[in-house]
Amino acid sequence: MTNQPTEIAIVGGGMVGGALALGLAQHGFAVTVIEHAEPAPFVADSQPDVRISAISAASVSLLKGLGVWDAVQAMRCHPYRRLETWEWETAHVVFDAAELKLP
């Protein structure tokens, strides 16, 4: 561990924490990301992970603005047409690309 001056500490370097850290750093802030381990590098010919991430059109716009969307697309990225999720009978959400006039 090293000591370095920082203005903002972000706990968690996942997609949200990473995007926030990059955006703040691009605006001149000294940012420190606190994460328990460095992420493993992406290996294109490795077996796919069973976890997926659904990235909304607004998030794509954010990632393009940060200059990282091309890197995301290189990591087994594929558009979804419809996504349905539920936890209980009353907690049900459907995203439909056609409804949002997306390709």
As a three-state string, the secondary structure of the chain is CCCCCCCEEEECCCHHHHHHHHHHHHCCCCEEEECCCCCCCCCCCCCCCCCCCCCCHHHHHHHHHHCCHHHHHCCCCCCCCEEEEEEECCEEEEEECCCCCCC
In a domain, 18, yes or no: yes
Determine, yes or no, domain membership for 76: yes
All residue ranges of the chain with pLDDT < 70 are 1
Domain range spanning residue 61?
8-39+51-96
**Tally of domains in the chain:** 1
In a domain, 30, yes or no: yes
Share of the chain above pLDDT 90, in %: 51
* Maximum separation of any 2 CA atoms in the chain, in Å: 50
Global pTM value: 0.79
Predicted confidence at residue 10, as pLDDT, reads 98
Model confidence pLDDT, tens digit, residues 5-28: 999 999 999 999 999 999 999 999
